[in-house]
Amino acid sequence: MSLDHLSSLEDVAQALVASGKGILAADESTGTIANRFDGINVENTEANRRNYRELLFTADGMEKNIGGVILFDETLRQSGNDGTRFADLLANKGVISGIKLDMGAKALAGAPGETVTEGLDGLRERVAEYVGLGALFAKWRAVISIGDGRPSAYCINANAHALARYAAICVEGGLVPIVEPEILMDGDHTIETSFQVTHDVLTAVFAALAEHRVPLEQILLKPNMVISGYDCPVQADVATVAAQTVDCFRQTVPANVPGIVFLSGGQSEISSTAHLNAMNADHSDLPWALSFSYGRALQASALKAWVGKSENLVAGQQAFLIRAKHNGAAAQGTYVGE
Ligand code: 5MM
């Protein structure tokens, strides 16, 4: 296998969401992977991070359902046990490497409690370096929260502007930008509030992308689902989440975006799969592919099965493959449960 047939950014974007495929978000920064490792009592060393990522990437058959993997800078520079660089190991399986380009969500001046994602300085040069290291796509995550008057229009617009600047630089430099405006699911807000905020944010993001002349055929959108806040006393059921999410995206996402790849956002593995499945099972006339770009919802069981021990490598891989397979089915609306 190779990726030589992907000769344009449109080809790359479409390959990432080919039928039954989605994306593994394995781009946890060093601080975030520390939280994941803390949960299984594994020390956050460079060797453990490398071993864990190698477990995921060498799982036999993951390429059936994983079209691409988002990597952190350190991982893109690492190699497997046999000395093959991870980007090459993945390409040999037909899996596309992507790179997390943002430098994290930082306090937004003048807006207490809100953040704007940083990382635009020097981005053109970093894109060129990552292209040289084998990346074909990228990711930038904006973080928006709901509650106590949040989000402000100022926060929405600052993040939309940064996402659009990032996307334009990626396209110019030869990477497919994944545009990720994440509205956190924390809080006691209703699904109606989630719908309204998601609608407002996506409207602002697509206006900014248009202003920055970003060709929508060359991007993927990575959003939250429209869902009740985790502390809301009334939790919308699977069918309602699917219907509200699709309705919100029909109103805001242009038809020439090739794919929408959801984040899981702290939902359980099974809820993330069930929600995605219901969207695809209940709608056959969508203009974009609806698939996944999950971090926690693809990795939670694998981490628990592995717990940092080499003798559990196969158990960890099996757990990951099960989630990949079920989410691949959900991307086609054919998931039948666990
Ligand atoms: C995998 O985690 C990604 C990087 O997070 P940090 O910058 O905080 O280290 C993160 O962007 C992730 O891709 C998205 O949040 C989606 O992951 P989930 O777990 O919500 O599906």
For residue 192, give the H/E element and its range. helix 191-211
CATH architecture of the domain formed by 9-330: Alpha-Beta Barrel (3.20)
For atom 5 of ligand 1, which residue has the closest CA?
28
Q: Whose CA is closest to atom 17 on ligand 1?
A: 295
Q: Take atom 20 of ligand 1 and give the residue whose Cα is closest.
A: 265
User: Which residue has a Cα nearest atom 13 of ligand 1?
Assistant: 25
Candidate list 21, 100, 139, 222, residue with the active-site label: 222
Q: What residues are in contact with ligand 1 under a 6 Å CB criterion?
A: 25, 27-29, 32, 104, 141, 182, 263-265, 294-297
Residue 304 appears among annotated catalytic residues: no
Q: Tokens 């593994």 correspond to what residue?
A: 24
Backbone angles phi, psi at 203, to 5 degrees: -60, -45
* Burial classification of residue 157, based on how many CB atoms lie within 10 Å of its CB (0-12 exposed, 13-18 middle, 19 or more buried): middle
Asked if residue 289 lies in contact with residue 276, where contact means CB atoms within 8 angstroms, the answer is no
Which among 54, 65, 64, 61 is positioned nearest to 26, based on CA atoms? Answer: 54
In ligand 1, the atom with minimum distance to the C-alpha of 299 is 19
Please report the atom of ligand 1 found closest to the CA of residue 72.
Answer: 4
Please tell me the pTM assigned to this model.
0.98
Q: How far apart are CA 280 and CA 286, in angstroms?
A: 9
Q: How far apart are CA 155 and CA 165, in angstroms?
A: 16
For 142-199, write each residue's pLDDT tens digit.
999 999 999 999 999 999 999 999 999 999 999 999 999 999 999 999 999 999 999 9
Q: Cα of 33 to ligand 1 centre, how many Å?
A: 10
Interval 91-131: pLDDT, tens: 999 999 999 999 999 999 999 999 999 999 999 999 999 99
Q: How far is the CA of 25 from the centre of ligand 1 (A)?
A: 7
The alpha carbon of 178 and the centre of ligand 1 are apart by a number of angstroms equal to: 13
Show pLDDT as tens, one digit a residue, over the chain (338 residues).
Answer: 789 999 999 999 999 999 999 999 999 999 999 999 999 999 999 999 999 999 999 999 999 999 999 999 999 999 999 999 999 999 999 999 999 999 999 999 999 999 999 999 999 999 999 999 999 999 999 999 999 999 999 999 999 999 999 999 999 999 999 999 999 999 999 999 999 999 999 999 999 999 999 999 999 999 999 999 999 999 999 999 999 999 999 999 999 999 999 999 999 999 999 999 999 999 999 999 999 999 999 999 999 999 999 999 999 999 999 999 999 999 999 999 98
Ligand 1 centre and the CA of 27: distance in Å?
7
Q: Closest Cα to residue 167, out of 150, 181, 184, 149?
A: 181
DSSP string over 268-303: -HHHHHHHHHHHHHH-S--SSEEEEEESHHHHHHHH
